[in-house]
């Protein structure tokens, strides 16, 4: 699958290099940095990024708000403001151009990752004809970050036993028996996981097929726990496991 390309609009080159390095660690491709309004528009036309990291203060007369207005008018592209400013006036101006996230510098790798994933997911989910892409962080990594209270925790796929849907939340059952509640639908969450490894067995459950022990007509066991198999999911489950 194509990886997510992140455009960078940042006039402080030291910060721009730090962002580039962080994006590479997270598995994203990137373009830029552009340091002003004109370069930002040239990058949009030439490199066609999927999402923009946009500093508010830029070189030249026009700033990040001007770029954001052009994005909304012409490019219909998700963007995230990166700024050292968190004063009321700046935030009120930001509200008018509707950024998909707002990050105050300095920020951590985990904060940047979470902002990109949520912004792109919410943007594409709201489009009727958006790009069907899976971010590279999910296709090249064996983990993801999930929000657990005030902390973004790294969860490796090897420690994720199964998922349980609870309305607009998903309960992650880990091998350690720890449970983490995530705000998401089970469909959206499984889209973020390693393809083929996590399989739906019921409208409420998806399991890590590495841990399946026994399969019965209407249920299976996974690490000693019994989970139901829905009728509409059984055939796909068996095919996915090579059982005909």
The torsion angles phi and psi of 219, rounded to 5 degrees, stand at -160, 170
Distance of CA 121 to the CA centre of its chain: 6
Alpha helices in 126-198 (DSSP H): 136-140, 186-191
Long-range contacts of 86-93 (CB under 8 A, 24+ apart): 90/56, 93/65
Residues 214, 127 within the same domain: no
pLDDT (average), residues 175-183 = 89
- pLDDT bucket at 64, cuts 50 / 70 / 90: very high
Cα distances (Å, whole numbers) of residue 64 to 8, 90, 126 = 11, 11, 24
In 3D space, the residue among 122, 116, 115, 171 whose CA is nearest the CA of residue 148 turns out to be 171
Which of these three, 136, 164, 189, is where a domain ends?
136
Residues 169, 218 within the same domain: yes
Cα angle at 16 between 12 and 19, to 5 degrees? 145
Which of these three, 136, 167, 193, is where a domain ends?
136
The torsion angles phi and psi of 65, rounded to 5 degrees, stand at -65, -35
Question: Looking at the predicted structure, is the pLDDT value of residue 155 above 50?
Answer: yes
Give per-residue pLDDT as tens, 93-144.
Answer: 999 999 999 999 888 888 898 899 888 888 876 543 333 343 333 334 678 8
Which of these three, 112, 136, 160, is where a domain ends?
136
Q: How many domains does the chain have?
A: 2
Q: What pLDDT, on a 0 to 100 scale, did the predictor assign at position 55? A: 95
Give per-residue pLDDT as tens, 26-47.
Answer: 888 899 999 999 999 999 999 9
Residues 233, 121 within the same domain: no
Residue ranges making up the domain that contains 196: 142-240
pLDDT (average), residues 3-25 = 90
Residues 115, 28 within the same domain: yes
Question: Looking at the predicted structure, is the pLDDT value of residue 244 above 50?
Answer: yes
């Amino acid at each position: 699958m194509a990886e997510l390309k992140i455009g960078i609009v940042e006039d402080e080159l030291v910060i721009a290099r730090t962002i580039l390095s962080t994006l590479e660690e997270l598995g994203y491709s990137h373009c830029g940095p552009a340091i002003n309004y004109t370069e930002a528009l040239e990058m949009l036309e030439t490199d066609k990024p999927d999402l923009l990291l946009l500093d508010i203060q830029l070189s030249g007369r026009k700033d990040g708000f001007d770029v954001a207005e052009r994005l909304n008018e012409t490019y219909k592209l998700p963007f995230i403001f990166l700024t050292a400013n968190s004063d009321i006036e700046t935030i009120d101006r930001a509200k008018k151009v509707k950024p998909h996230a707002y990050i105050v510098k300095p920020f951590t790798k985990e904060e940047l990752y979470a902002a990109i994933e949520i912004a792109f997911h919410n943007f594409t989910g709201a489009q009727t004809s958006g790009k069907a892409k899976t971010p590279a962080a999910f296709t090249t990594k064996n983990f993801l970050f999930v929000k657990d209270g005030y902390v973004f925790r790294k969860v490796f796929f090897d420690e994720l036993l199964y998922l349980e849907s609870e309305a607009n939340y998903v309960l992650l059952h880990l091998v350690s028996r720890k449970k983490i509640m995530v705000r998401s639908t089970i469909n959206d969450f499984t889209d973020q996981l390693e393809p083929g490894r996590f399989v739906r067995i019921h409208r409420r459950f998806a399991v890590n097929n590495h841990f399946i022990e026994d399969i019965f007509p209407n249920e299976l066991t996974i690490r000693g726990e019994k989970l139901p198999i829905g009728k509409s999911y059984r055939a796909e489950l068996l095919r996915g496991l090579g059982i005909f």
